[in-house]
Amino acid sequence: MKTRRVTFLPFDKTVEIDEGTKISEAAQKAGVYINNLCGGEGVCGECRVRVVRGEARQEDGATSFFSQEELDQGFVLACQTEVHDDLQVEIPAESMLEEEQIMTGETRDGVAQGDSVVVHEDQDLTLYPLKPLARKIFLELPEPSLEDNITDIERVSRELRRRIGWHSYEITLPCLRNLSDLLRGNQWQITVTVVRDNKGYKIQKIEPGDTTSSHYGLAVDVGTTTVVAQLVDLRTGRVLGVEGVHNTQAQYGEDVISRMIYACRKDGKGLQPLQDAVVKNINDLIDALVERMGIGREEIFAVVAAGNTTMSHLLLGLTPCSIRLEPYVPTADAYPQILASDIGIHIHPQGILNVLPSVASYVGGDIVAGVLSSGIADQDAVHGLIDIGTNGEIAIGNSEWLVCCSASAGPSFEGGGTTCGMRATRGAIEALTIENGSLTYETIGHAAPRGICGSGLIDCIYALVKNGIIGFDGKFDRKRDDPRLGWTDGVPHYVIARADETETGNPIVISEPDIDNLMKSKGSVYAAIKSLLDYIGMTFDMLDRFYVAGGFGSYLNIRKAINIGLLPDIPEERIRFIGNSSLTGARMALIHEEAFEKCQTVAKSMTNIELSNYQPYMDEYVASLFLPHTDRKLFPTVDY
Amino acid sequence: MKTRRVTFLPFDKTVEIDEGTKISEAAQKAGVYINNLCGGEGVCGECRVRVVRGEARQEDGATSFFSQEELDQGFVLACQTEVHDDLQVEIPAESMLEEEQIMTGETRDGVAQGDSVVVHEDQDLTLYPLKPLARKIFLELPEPSLEDNITDIERVSRELRRRIGWHSYEITLPCLRNLSDLLRGNQWQITVTVVRDNKGYKIQKIEPGDTTSSHYGLAVDVGTTTVVAQLVDLRTGRVLGVEGVHNTQAQYGEDVISRMIYACRKDGKGLQPLQDAVVKNINDLIDALVERMGIGREEIFAVVAAGNTTMSHLLLGLTPCSIRLEPYVPTADAYPQILASDIGIHIHPQGILNVLPSVASYVGGDIVAGVLSSGIADQDAVHGLIDIGTNGEIAIGNSEWLVCCSASAGPSFEGGGTTCGMRATRGAIEALTIENGSLTYETIGHAAPRGICGSGLIDCIYALVKNGIIGFDGKFDRKRDDPRLGWTDGVPHYVIARADETETGNPIVISEPDIDNLMKSKGSVYAAIKSLLDYIGMTFDMLDRFYVAGGFGSYLNIRKAINIGLLPDIPEERIRFIGNSSLTGARMALIHEEAFEKCQTVAKSMTNIELSNYQPYMDEYVASLFLPHTDRKLFPTVDY
């Protein structure tokens, strides 16, 4: 079959697919999310896209959604149009899933420098076979006879073994309760939902007839700042929709430490509100997703959640109190599979929840998910991963060994701790340049600026030092004559967007203390990477590839991140920005049994190096509080 | 250590025990149950026994329970008296557990012919090590340090592995919930309850401090007629008490078939009352046992129940509807371990219930328990087992192979279907002889007779034919001049106890139709044994041992059972009456993990031979409707 290339604008993502694939499917493969209210039936008209280059012809019925002018412009419904040519397809804002590019930040290969990047078929769809943690199997059983009078449940198990493999299937009493009548009342045709847990296989639900056409799962990234959920069609492994919300635990504490303190209040009443908050977040996300997709909550049967160790504890209602204090001991690092309803998540009453296992107090299931989704643990070559959030967690290794560590990065790259910092949502300045004295920026959603997010801050620091506005020590050149340079109470700041440009009517600035915080954040991250490599006797050039994950939205300028000394100065092409790898990993574990198993192995086999009392790390940290670094030789390609 | 023999009267049971053993423990080993309200503390005075032969000296404090006259007569408290001599000990009626000898009918080796029989240490205490399905283990954990900062639950698991073996322990969320605080609030001293299920090991409960001194289990025989429960001390495996009640399902139908019909009423409302009835029975038994032993319900943590396939289904709330009809298909033959509270059994909220697995629709967990407790499946030699109740279930085999079958025996041997039949409880005539025209009988509890139970009926048939009162065809010799021979509406009967002898003031009689029913019952049982042996190409003399179980109370005259053609004519010493082997097996599975595993293996490996459509069985049956049998050569030693 012939291969075609489709490039999606404005993301500039290109995917290679088989001829005849629908544009909507190509978009999914490319990690570009388009509205899909009717599930691809061509009846909602919500997946309008414009073919700007190449020939495409949609199904006849779909033309009724467009005016003649629109048809002339190349508008088609993505779900009703097959690809038979190399195409460029523009996705209008109204067809994008709300905030999708922001909240998920999911991308496989880098979008560095705005280059067009070929997104191959998702690794998770090729490395592992599609075997969701909860599988629905339609069975037509032979009727019993005197020659074949095994028990009803054994008849079910026998057919299951024939269909999905020679396992022993654990049975729950509710599934047995009505089985006899159910089989005999429905011509021996049933749909069995089999669930994989830490130990084996379990028959979790038996329904009359064939219900396999409706089977959904949820992948959740439980972040300290943001909770993001993907609704996944478990028949295909495809993402149907994604939603994100602020983690409303924030009302009890902005960062992990302050939430632990709240959870461990002496009156013993701190834990429940934190659990309730995140459970409500997830329920709200489910509400939004099922409403948009027009399905019922109870059609969702499996949830896989990834989060740091504290978030995982809080979600499950486990006290995180001893995580915070030396010797940093969590209650558990592997969590039992439970009914989602056990903690109040509203999906099918028998539906399951798996929280991905942690490695240590400060290396959680989100990093295990990241290792999984980046494929580090599947390679002979040594790869690295850093997930930059409030903490920077780093994993290095290959299929033979894995080490990890974590370092407090501070909230700077997530939009906290700076005067005008914000999360990577609509209106955030995500890219910025100063050239020939002229400052230009781009905002997410092309909206009026409301603040500046992590990737914008990285660009900003680089632009400031590159143009000599700040020195290598991060201090402003106080002698410089620059209209954007201002002072508040003796503290210098730089105006990025004037009051008349912004949505709020307040200027967006970066102050010297902001820069100081960013220097500490980037120094902490770099020092952690360096210390971990030193610890295992490796150097940067031994890293075949280095993945960067984190809440930067869909955009991170790798070159500039190197230039400010956040990332090591290795050839740029070895560094890949992979967005929200926690979410990707959670989805992989949801739809691939082998990926789920791999998570357990990764979590168990990864060696955590505790940096908090490790003197070389402290030394590295101090040396990193400079642009790009005290030891310039470590950054030979930096251009200032 | 020196071995001593203790014989318990009036049961005439002898046990060999180590010198220094308490009389109360010796009684338990002998299967003789003595009141034990205070748990052996010597404070309730309820275990009064009289040493009639041999020297025994009780603890000084115990003498206060007796008058000088009693002390002179040899009265001691069984729990306060060690054995240092061969003893004969008489147990007064008031010290016996109520109805114990009746309801449990548990005995290991035969009590045939009233001979004194040595009861060796229970097989279940020697063949398998003591490892209850639910084990309590007190752990003193090392406090975590930076060098040893594994998670709390892993710290628990690690210590468990050291203590009870290298398993992976499944964790339930409730156990994790409070673990962190629980460990740190109790100097790292906890008691863990580990449960074995069909798949592996599970940490089911974690408590502060050392609670191992209180740990109980319940073995239940869920019979169609009677539900019997033993309270077992899981620390020692010893039986602390036993209680039995009529299965109140009887209100919905006397036998299994009529209960199935009720359960499968068209309105769908038949199943619940049947489940409720047996659950209430079990709860009532628990109430009685915990009240007598002075423990709390929640101190019971594990229940193992054995019953026929229909009883097992009804207990678990599974419809038995397709069991009854060709091709006789149960919903399940292996049942998941559940929380006892899931079906309303009131023990510890996290306590478990295991229902022993069945083999087929008419060969249930009670027979699996019987195979287990008789040890058939552990021997090289071929042994047989028959459990005589409303059905006669037969198992034959050895450690290599097992076959089984079942045949409807009718209710005669359980006290139904005859004019004056009754269960083997107080006042039942359980033994009977007619010698030189003089009829003598014994009743259970030496009470005034109220009726005649299975063992009494066997004796009765034998006495009647032996004395020529009935012929080989079971018909009365109508010409005989016998004052006990009477007529009602033209139907002859024989008076066993005159109206003035009985409790009710009504005579106890056996009529010709009664005898006819008994002939059918014994014929059916014998034909089944014979057919099964023929089927596998064996003869009676190849049976190294033949165990007989059933609701005969503690008494069954083997010789007379052979003489009437109920049991095959093999040397008597090869036949052992083992009482309620279902209850014994349930207790073994409760206290020996390996016995529990063995049940699963036995249930899976046993081949069921369906007799219902098997012509040779029908032929054998017809030939068996004679005393002792149409083919006299099969019963060469019969003495009439």
By the CB < 8 Å criterion, does A327 face chain B?
Answer: yes
Does residue B120 have a pLDDT over 60? no
Q: Specify the pairing of strand A238-246 against strand A201-208.
A: unpaired
Does residue A108 have a pLDDT over 50? no
| Mean model confidence pLDDT for chain B | 89
CB contact under 8 A, B318 and A181: no
| Mean model confidence pLDDT for chain A | 89
| Mean pLDDT for the stretch of residues B183-198 | 94
Among A545-554, A600-609, B145-154, B327-336, which is the least confidently predicted range? A545-554
Contacts of A126 (CB under 8 A, 6+ apart): none
Cα(B586)–Cα(B596) distance, integer angstroms: 9
| Mean pLDDT for the stretch of residues B208-218 | 96
As a whole-number percent, the residues of chain A with pLDDT over 70 amount to 92
Cα(A302)–Cα(A351) distance, integer angstroms: 5
Task: Kindly state the helix (H) or strand (E) to which residue B560 belongs, with its residue range.
Answer: helix B558-563
Contacts of A231 (CB under 8 A, 6+ apart): A216, A217, A218, A239, A240, A241, A242, A289, A290, A293, A300
Instruction: Compute the residue count for chain A.
Output: 640
Cα(A300)–Cα(B56) distance, integer angstroms: 72
| Mean pLDDT for the stretch of residues A581-590 | 94
Phi, psi of B215 (to 5 degrees): -160, 105
pLDDT digits (tens, 9 = 90+) for A471-519: 999 999 999 999 999 999 999 999 999 999 998 899 999 999 999 999 9
Does residue A119 have a pLDDT over 70? no
CA-atom Rg of chain A in angstroms: 26
Cα(B420)–Cα(B496) distance, integer angstroms: 10
Among A237-241, B45-49, B418-422, which is the least confidently predicted range? B45-49
Structure tokens at A405: 């560590």
CB contact under 8 A, B149 and A327: yes
Confidence of residue B97 (pLDDT cuts 50, 70, 90): low
Does residue B588 have a pLDDT over 70? yes
Structure tokens at A369: 């998910």
| Mean pLDDT for the stretch of residues A211-218 | 96
Helix (H, G, I), strand (E, B) or coil at A193: strand
Task: Using alpha carbons, select from A476, A427, A460 the residue that is nearest to residue A564.
Answer: A460
Does residue B121 have a pLDDT over 60? no
pLDDT digits (tens, 9 = 90+) for B371-383: 999 999 999 999 9
A-chain residues within 8 Å CB-CB of B178?
319
More confident residue, A42 or B273: B273
Structure tokens at B596: 């529990």
CB contact under 8 A, B318 and A177: yes
Cα(B151)–Cα(B138) distance, integer angstroms: 19
Beta bridge partners of A13: A8, A117
| Mean pLDDT for the stretch of residues A162-179 | 89
- Residue A587 region by backbone torsions, left for phi larger than 0, else alpha for psi between -120 and 50, else beta: alpha
Task: Using alpha carbons, select from A244, A245, A243, A369 the residue that is nearest to residue A312.
Answer: A369
What Å distances lie between residue B212 and B215, B293, B344, B616, CA to CA? 6, 17, 25, 56
Confidence of residue A326 (pLDDT cuts 50, 70, 90): confident
Contact A431, A459 (CB under 8 A): yes
- Got the DSSP string for A231-293? EEETTTTEEEEEEEEE-GGGGG-SSHHHHHHHHT-TTS-SHHHHHHHHHHHHHHHHHHHHHHH
- Got the DSSP string for B62-96? GGGGS-HHHHHHTEEEGGGBB--S-EEEE--GGGB
B-chain residues within 8 Å CB-CB of A150?
329
Task: Kindly state the helix (H) or strand (E) to which residue B493 belongs, with its residue range.
Answer: strand B491-497
Task: Using alpha carbons, select from B269, B259, B172, B335 the residue that is nearest to residue A175.
Answer: B335
B-chain residues within 8 Å CB-CB of A327?
144-146, 148-149
By the CB < 8 Å criterion, does B85 face chain A?
Answer: no
- Residue B375 region by backbone torsions, left for phi larger than 0, else alpha for psi between -120 and 50, else beta: left
- Which chain A residue shows the shortest CA-CA distance from B613? A146
Cα(A19)–Cα(B377) distance, integer angstroms: 64
Phi, psi of B399 (to 5 degrees): -70, -15
Does residue B582 have a pLDDT over 80? yes
What Å distances lie between residue B151 and A340, A617, B139, B148, B182, CA to CA? 24, 25, 16, 9, 14
CB contact under 8 A, A610 and B321: no
Does residue A113 have a pLDDT over 50? no
| Mean pLDDT for the stretch of residues B432-458 | 92
pLDDT digits (tens, 9 = 90+) for B34-56: 766 555 667 667 788 999 999 88
Contact A106, A584 (CB under 8 A): yes
B-chain residues within 8 Å CB-CB of A172?
336
Cα(B68)–Cα(A42) distance, integer angstroms: 101
Among A128-132, A533-537, B230-234, which is the least confidently predicted range? A128-132
Q: Enumerate residues 153 to 172 of chain B having a beta carbon within 8 A of any beta carbon in chain A.
A: 153-155, 168, 170-172
A-chain residues within 8 Å CB-CB of B318?
176-177, 179-180
Task: Using alpha carbons, select from A618, A620, A640, A639 the residue that is nearest to residue A631.
Answer: A620
Contacts of B612 (CB under 8 A, 6+ apart): none
Q: Specify the pairing of strand B216-222 against strand B87-90.
A: unpaired
Rounded to the nearest angstrom, the gap between the alpha carbon of residue B311 and the centroid of all alpha carbons in its chain is: 15
Contact A428, A456 (CB under 8 A): yes
Task: Using alpha carbons, select from B464, B468, B520 the residue that is nearest to residue B493.
Answer: B464
| Mean pLDDT for the stretch of residues B170-178 | 91
Question: DSSP letter at B481?
Answer: -
CB contact under 8 A, B176 and A330: no
Confidence of residue A37 (pLDDT cuts 50, 70, 90): low
Helix (H, G, I), strand (E, B) or coil at A398: coil
Task: Kindly state the helix (H) or strand (E) to which residue B245 belongs, with its residue range.
Answer: strand B238-246
Alpha helices in A507-568 (DSSP H): 512-535, 558-563
In the chain, the amino acid numbered B307 is G
Phi, psi of B398 (to 5 degrees): -150, -155
Cα(A233)–Cα(A218) distance, integer angstroms: 9
By the CB < 8 Å criterion, does A267 face chain B?
Answer: no
Beta bridge partners of A487: A492
pLDDT digits (tens, 9 = 90+) for B496-533: 999 999 988 999 999 999 999 999 999 999 999 999 99
pLDDT digits (tens, 9 = 90+) for A521-569: 999 999 999 999 999 999 999 999 999 998 776 678 999 999 999 999 9
Task: Using alpha carbons, select from B449, B446, B360 the residue that is nearest to residue B404.
Answer: B360
Cα(B397)–Cα(B379) distance, integer angstroms: 9
pLDDT digits (tens, 9 = 90+) for A342-392: 999 999 999 999 999 999 999 999 999 999 999 999 989 999 999 998 789
Cα(A604)–Cα(B168) distance, integer angstroms: 14
Cα(A527)–Cα(A531) distance, integer angstroms: 6
CB contact under 8 A, A173 and B145: no
Cβ neighbours of B175 (radius 10 Å): 24
Q: Enumerate residues 177 to 206 of chain B having a beta carbon within 8 A of any beta carbon in chain A.
A: 177-181, 184, 198-200
- How far is the alpha carbon of B568 from chain A, nearest alpha carbon, in Å? 30
What Å distances lie between residue A63 and A34, A76, A126, CA to CA? 18, 7, 35
**pTM of the predicted model, to two decimals?**
0.79
Confidence of residue A444 (pLDDT cuts 50, 70, 90): confident
Cα(B626)–Cα(B637) distance, integer angstroms: 16
Structure tokens at B356: 């022993």
ipTM: 0.79
